């Protein structure tokens, strides 16, 4: 579903990813853990095409995301094709990123209507179902500023699901929330993980959540995978000292 092949990412002189290789299977739930600055968010942003790779290729559903290698040359992927691939990927951010000037319902229907070409009626019906799923049926007409952080994040989750993504990227989605609002959002994500087969890549510091939802945990340090395996192994019985000291610091 997602394949990183020798992916290098530099920001100026800083090499954040140093030739990264990994694959994620369809339906897999993979959590990325590791110290701040180790490149986890950059990986999600590359998949979302918010950043471009410096070298290497990212494949999504067997297609190159932005370009592919032909001999020594990197050749741009066809643009129409890139748009198709991007539609299959949803991302939820730490800071919600809702449209502040639109009511909740419109936040959810905007992309299905304008990107997927759904009719307004079809998009409304689906948005109402999704608001029910996230427990916010009574907030369809509210503006984001009238909601708590946890409610805004649940709207952001509904908005990403409205695009029927094959892949959902979750970037520290509870980090900006007051502690008492965190559990609601995590419970919702656990429900979604249980009731769908969406492939998920999750960056989180919530180790209990990571253990509950993940099939697999990848521990990063300085842009390199230090350890990769089921949560019981990586979190319960880590092989590497760097993983042990990271877990000790966050647990
Ligand atoms: P993590 O998510 O593991 O905390 P990030 O992927 O956010 O790590 O960042 C990895 C490194 O890349 C950090 O040193 C960060 O400062 C740097 N970085 C990320 N984005 C940019 C950018 N747009 N410009 C310059 N440096 C960046």
pLDDT digits (tens, 9 = 90+) for 106-165: 999 999 999 999 999 999 999 999 999 999 999 999 999 999 999 999 999 999 999 999
pLDDT of 188: 92
Ligand 1: which residue has its CA nearest to atom 15? 37
SS3 139: helix
Distance separating alpha carbons of residues 25 and 197, to the nearest angstrom: 11
When pLDDT is cut at 50, 70 and 90, the band that residue 247 belongs to is: very high
Distance separating alpha carbons of residues 131 and 162, to the nearest angstrom: 10
For the Cβ of 223 lying below 6 angstroms from any atom of ligand 1, the answer is no
For the Cβ of 40 lying below 6 angstroms from any atom of ligand 1, the answer is yes
Q: What percent of the chain shows pLDDT beyond 70? A: 98
pLDDT value at 199 more than 90 = yes
For the Cβ of 204 lying below 6 angstroms from any atom of ligand 1, the answer is no
Across residues 36-56, what is the average pLDDT? 93
In the reported structure, the alpha carbon of residue 224 is separated from the centroid of ligand 1 by a whole-number distance in angstroms of 14
In Å, what is the CA distance from 86 to each residue of 50, 90, 176, 181?
Answer: 10, 8, 26, 30
Contacts of 23 (CB under 8 A, 6+ apart): 2, 3, 4
For the Cβ of 90 lying below 6 angstroms from any atom of ligand 1, the answer is no
In the chain, where are the structural domains located?
Answer: 89-164
Q: Is the ipTM of this complex over 0.95?
A: yes
When pLDDT is cut at 50, 70 and 90, the band that residue 47 belongs to is: very high
In the reported structure, the alpha carbon of residue 41 is separated from the centroid of ligand 1 by a whole-number distance in angstroms of 7
When pLDDT is cut at 50, 70 and 90, the band that residue 197 belongs to is: very high
For the Cβ of 145 lying below 6 angstroms from any atom of ligand 1, the answer is no
Across residues 13-41, what is the average pLDDT? 95
pLDDT of 16: 96
In the reported structure, the alpha carbon of residue 144 is separated from the centroid of ligand 1 by a whole-number distance in angstroms of 28
Tokens of 136: 């916010």
pLDDT of 180: 86
- The ligand 1 atom nearest the CA atom of 39: 6
For the Cβ of 152 lying below 6 angstroms from any atom of ligand 1, the answer is no
Tell me which of 9, 33, 35, 37 to substitute to probe ligand 1's pocket, judged by most ligand atoms within 8 Å of the beta carbon: 37
For the Cβ of 15 lying below 6 angstroms from any atom of ligand 1, the answer is no
Q: List pLDDT tens digits, range 52-107.
A: 999 999 999 888 887 766 676 767 777 777 778 888 999 999 988 999 999 999 99
Q: How many residues does the chain have?
A: 251
* pTM of this structure: 0.92
């Amino acid at each position: 579903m997602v394949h990183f092949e020798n992916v290098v990412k530099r920001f100026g002189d800083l090499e954040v990813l140093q030739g990264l290789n990994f694959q994620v299977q369809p339906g897999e739930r993979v959590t990325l853990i590791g110290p701040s600055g180790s490149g986890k968010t950059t990986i999600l942003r590359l998949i979302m095409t918010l950043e471009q790779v410096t070298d290497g290729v990212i494949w999504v559903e067997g297609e190159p995301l932005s370009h592919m290698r032909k001999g020594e040359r990197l050749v741009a992927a066809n643009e129409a094709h890139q748009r198709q691939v991007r539609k299959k990927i949803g991302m939820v951010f730490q800071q919600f990123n809702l449209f502040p000037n639109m009511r909740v319902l419109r936040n959810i229907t905007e992309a299905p209507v304008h990107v997927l070409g759904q009719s307004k009626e079809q998009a409304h019906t689906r948005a109402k179902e999704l608001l029910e799923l996230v427990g916010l049926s009574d907030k369809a007409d509210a503006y984001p500023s009238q909601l708590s952080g946890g409610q805004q994040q649940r709207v952001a989750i509904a908005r990403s699901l409205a695009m029927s993504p094959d892949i959902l990227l979750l970037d520290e989605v509870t980090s900006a929330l007051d502690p008492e609002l965190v559990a609601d959002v995590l419970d919702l994500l656990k429900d979604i993980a249980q009731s769908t087969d969406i492939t998920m890549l999750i960056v989180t510091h919530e180790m209990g959540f990571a253990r509950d939802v993940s099939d697999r945990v990848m521990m990063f340090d300085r842009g390199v995978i230090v350890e990769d395996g089921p949560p019981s192994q990586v979190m319960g019985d880590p092989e590497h000292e760097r993983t042990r000291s990271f877990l000790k610091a966050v647990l």
